[in-house]
Amino acid sequence: MNKPRRNPVATAVPAESAGARESGARPKRLSVRFQKWLTPLSILLAVLLLVLSVGLYGLVSSHSLWLDLTPEGLYSLSDLMITECEKIERDITITFCNDPDRLMADYQTRYVYVMAKELEQRFDNITVKTCNVTLNPTAVDRYRAVSSSSIPASSVIISCGDQFRIYTASQFWISGTDDNGNSSGLYSFNGEYKMATAFFSLSAIAAPKAYFLVNHGERYYAPDDEAHAALAAGAGQDEDLAAFYQLLLKAGLTVEYLDLAGKNTVPEDCAVLIVNRPTSDLGGGDMNSFYDRTEVEVLDRYISTGNGSIMFFKDPDVTLPNLEQFCEKWGISYIDGATVGLHREEGGITDLVRAVYNTDDSTVAYSIYQTLASVDSSPDVVARRCGAVKLAWSEPNGELSGNFMGKRLYADFLYAPTKTTEDGYGSALYDSNGETVSRDNQRYAIAAISTRYWSDSYSLEKYYSYVFASAAPDLISRENLENAAYGNADVFFSLVRYLARNDQYADLALGSESFNSENMGGKKLVTSKLSATEYTDYGSGKDCAAVTEGDKVRISIFVFAPVLIASAAGVVLWRRRRIL
């Protein structure tokens, strides 16, 4: 039986399937042209990724690119902070006393450092510096009140020109209290208010002034110009003070003249008040009376309620009870009616005193002229017809404690040598007739300085006032200041610069929540760990959740993002290579 013949069309395999079967289902090869460019493209992509990583590193180093997810805005500048800082025209430097990695690791300094970097990024006149004071303690020597002062690694130094303020990291925070009034941890971040007040305080006086007091027979120098014609022609004009006048200008001060008659206050821009060789006394009065505005009271209020400085130069044969009583209150007592004499080695007595520096590094005196006093061959500081001053308080260490917020410290500034010859005779005091008043080889100071400092109960910042008193006006004579062999010019230039560091506190009541310090404002911490009723533990050193969220975002962007980009590029390359 004949079988039916199959339809060749019905049983035929599709040409595509047959062709695919014969070729083993291999995909198409890439074109030769594409293969030629694939390797260079891979190398170019790798180079681009490397450049991107380096660029991101540089960008992160100089700019704050992380997102601030903290509900308090701890990583961001408020609009008010930006507005207020736009008003500051002088250059500001913020110095942190530790390395950046350590600053970022500490839960208190981190936000202060980030805030400072944000300010630096936004304003050209704000610069941020870091130095490790543990490894390099001399890097901040110029900011020490005295040579032995300690500036810890947690310090933040804000400076403008020669003026500066030193803070600790904790001062940028406000602590909460429990029902018993004890500190219970951090309550709010008050860094913007603290930083802004420092900026305005330090930049408030662009050119501090020195005032010569007049109308008590004082000696002064006034330039011979139209504005000072009357003073230049006055009885107090002394050409011998021209060198001292130029020294004041060199120290960055402008010079004015002050008559206290009919005035209740010393001008606010007075950084140093100079009372030089008066022949009549200051107007006295009750210094404890609030309403008594005599001249003594005006000076007392100037030095007690602000951050002022007064320099007294008094002739040893002039007695001024009110002026001397004022100085005694500040710890410096004049020895009237006597001059310091020294025995010559060849015999006889001379009134030429080659003063000795105070080398006690715990005193303000030493910190002022340390660079001169610390060398083996210190230049001589000389003067003639020197009177003597001494500590007026009974405390032998020259310290007078006030309340727990303030103190006054006395220090000899320059003194006559106690022994100049082999026979043991040294300094002695002589009256106007040349008779010996005292000769017991004790140390006679010819100039002294008294420092008052007090701490603000809210901010814990320290403020300083100074009274310098000398019984040797010849120290600032033209002959001694212009003689390059003497150290008079260097010593008094350093002294004037030190006293003129006016640190006036600018009390800003800016009114916003982030600036309102009057009702314990700042950026209040609103997380569960740092709320008004539950505080973080200082001892634990742990950060709150809101604080760490910002770090998580920063890490995510600048650590994982480059990795994800590189991984995506690798997948693309792998897929391309599969089809070769």
Residues 562-575: pLDDT tens digits?
A: 667 766 776 676 66
d(CA 8, CA 364): 116
Residues 6+ apart with CB under 8 A from 481: 243, 244, 247, 488, 489, 492
Indicate the residue type of 577.
R
For residue 75, give the nearest of 34, 121, 39, 31 by alpha carbon. 121
Helix (H, G, I), strand (E, B) or coil at 546: helix
3-state secondary structure 267-288: CCCEEEEEEECCCCCCCCCCCC
Q: List Cα–Cα distances, 91 to 197, 505, 529, in angstroms.
A: 15, 18, 38
pLDDT digits (tens, 9 = 90+) for 363-409: 889 888 888 888 778 888 999 989 889 888 876 566 766 554 577 88
Place of tokens 């001062």: 171
Place of tokens 């150290």: 487
d(CA 311, CA 532): 50
Q: Given this model, what pLDDT does residue 553 score?
A: 56
Instruction: Dig out the tokens for 164 from the structure.
Output: 């500066």
CATH, domain range 79-202+519-534: 3.40.30.10
Q: Given this model, what pLDDT does residue 343 score?
A: 61
Is residue 218's pLDDT more than 70? yes
DSSP 12: P
Burial state string for 452-481 with b = 16 or more CB within 10 A and e = fewer than 16: bbbeeeeeebebbbbbbbbbbbbbbbbebb
The angle at the Cα of 151, spanning 146 to 157, to the nearest 5 degrees, equals 100
d(CA 170, CA 174): 8
For residue 531, give the nearest of 71, 106, 186 by alpha carbon. 186
What are the DSSP E strand ranges found in 283-398?
Answer: 309-313, 332-335, 339-343, 349-350, 352-357, 381-384, 388-391
Provide the pLDDT confidence category of residue 243 given band limits of 50, 70 and 90. Answer: very high
DSSP 328: H
| pTM, to two decimals | 0.62
d(CA 105, CA 99): 10
Q: Is 63 exposed, middle or buried (0-12, 13-18, 19+ CB in 10 A)?
A: exposed
Q: Is 62 exposed, middle or buried (0-12, 13-18, 19+ CB in 10 A)?
A: exposed
Q: Are 217 and 141 in contact (CB under 8 A)?
A: no
**Per mean pLDDT, which range of 54-58, 208-212, 320-324, 508-512 is the poorest?**
508-512
For residue 275, give the nearest of 510, 70, 471, 65 by alpha carbon. 471
d(CA 395, CA 410): 10
pLDDT digits (tens, 9 = 90+) for 119-143: 998 999 999 999 999 999 888 888 8
Q: Given this model, what pLDDT does residue 220 score?
A: 96
DSSP 486: B
For residue 409, give the nearest of 337, 470, 331, 351 by alpha carbon. 331
**Per mean pLDDT, which range of 165-179, 398-412, 452-466, 551-565 is the poorest?**
551-565
Instruction: Dig out the tokens for 247 from the structure.
Output: 């020294």
Q: Given this model, what pLDDT does residue 130 score?
A: 94
Q: Given this model, what pLDDT does residue 421 score?
A: 45
Percentage of residues of the chain with pLDDT beyond 90: 24
Residues 6+ apart with CB under 8 A from 274: 210, 211, 212, 213, 220, 310, 311, 313
Report the mean per-residue pLDDT for the chain.
Answer: 76
Residues 6+ apart with CB under 8 A from 545: 527, 528, 529
Percentage of residues of the chain with pLDDT beyond 70: 64
Domain spans, the chain: 11-62+560-578, 79-202+519-534, 205-499
pLDDT digits (tens, 9 = 90+) for 60-107: 655 555 567 677 777 788 888 888 889 888 899 999 999 998 998 887
